[in-house]
Every structure is written in C-alpha cells, then in structure tokens.
Amino acid sequence: MKRSLYFAAALLLSAGAQAQLYKSVGPDGKVTYSDTPPTTGAARVETRPAGGRGPSTAGLPYALAELVRVYPVVLYSTSDCSPCDEGRRLLQQRGIPFTEKTVSSAEDKALLRQASGGDATLPLLTIGRARERGYESGAWNSALSSAGYPETSRLPRNYRQAAAEALAPPKASLARDTEAQRRASEPEAATDLPPAIGNAPPGFRF
C-alpha cells in the first residue's frame, strides 16, 4: 500500500515538473519563446510542454497511457541523419509512443537549444525531463527502462504513429498571432451614432 502511494506521489511530482515553453507577444508584436517565464511587460503569455503536444493515448493500455502522460517521449531529428533514423527505429521496435519534432529552420534550432539546455546535438531524445543527446542504443534503452517503459511493445495493433512536424510553429501561425495581438491592442471604433437633430444627418454635431 505504501509503495503504491509513493508511486502515485512520484507521478504527480513528475507531471508538475515537466519542462515548459513560454510563448509571449510583446507590445511591438514580436513573438518570443522561452523556457523561463517572461517579464510582466509581455502582452500575452501561453505555456505548453517543451515538446509540444504529446502522442495520443487513445486505446493504449492504462499503464502505458500513464507513462506517456507523465514521461512523454520526444524525438528531435533532422533530415539526412543516420543516427536519427536509428533512434526512430529503436523507439518503433520497442513500441514507444513518441512525438517527433524536426529541426531545419533557424527558429527550430533556437527552440532545440532551449529544449536541450543549450546543446544543438541531434538526435535529441527527451523522456519527461531526462535528456539523451546523440544516439546510443544502450543509453536510450536504459533511460526508457528507468522511466518505466516496457521492454517489448504493448501497442494495440491499430496504433498509428503521428507524423513528424517542425519544432517551431509555421510562420503563417506566427503571423496570425501577431495580427490578432495588433487587433486586440487597437481601441474599438465607435459604432453608435448620436440621434439626428432637426434636418441634420445622424452623427452631426453643431
């Protein structure tokens, strides 16, 4: 009974300690991402896990779904990267639900440094707050086992891995955020016109 309580408490503490990325839009419309809370001068703040959305837990066995929630696995990769391909195969063969983030643009690389603690080595594997820089099968398997992930796949047969997506949001999304912030900062135009006086048109004042 005590061991169950300790395990539950550890899950709760780990869930609260997951790394966060903070997105803020400044008064000039500039969008900034940071792993530390922005200053109070930021116009708007959003938080999200450093790896972005985690993989879907729908249909997963309960124990595996809880691991995904508490210790989400994120693979940071890039194109023409043999170690990245080997790391991806290891996760797939072991049946690890994971999110894959690709790194190619300058914005991607900036976010990668935040997620990795300043190191831009790829591939990068994060398991909750644990980081494995570069690919080494023994180290990756050990880190996954330490987090509690099973040694062999327990994924349902109909499970489908989500497609990889860029680490940084598309520029179109950032443009929409900036435009929305600009509109929110503009004063609302008056829509109610004063009643007409005599033969004067509505809105006319003497």
**Domain ranges for the chain:** 17-49, 51-169
The CA distance from 57 to 66, in Å, is: 8
In the predicted model, what is the mean pLDDT of residues 190-203? 58
Instruction: Record the tokens describing residue 16, joined without a space.
Output: 């609260």
Lowest mean pLDDT among 36-45, 157-166, 169-178: 36-45
Lowest mean pLDDT among 13-27, 76-90, 130-144, 146-160: 13-27
To the question of pTM greater than 0.75 for the whole model, the response is no
Task: Please tell me the predicted confidence (pLDDT) of residue 45.
Answer: 45
Count of CB atoms situated within 10 Å of the CB of 56: 15
The residue assigned the tokens 């033969």 is 199
- Is the Cβ–Cβ distance between 125 and 143 less than 8 Å? yes
In the predicted model, what is the mean pLDDT of residues 131-142? 97
* pLDDT bracket for residue 132 (50, 70, 90): very high
Question: Residue 182 pLDDT more than 80?
Answer: no
Count of CB atoms situated within 10 Å of the CB of 91: 19
CATH class for the domain made up of 51-169: alpha beta
User: At 173, which helix (H) or strand (E)?
Assistant: helix 171-185
* pLDDT bracket for residue 102 (50, 70, 90): very high
* pLDDT bracket for residue 56 (50, 70, 90): confident
What percent of the chain has pLDDT above 70? 56
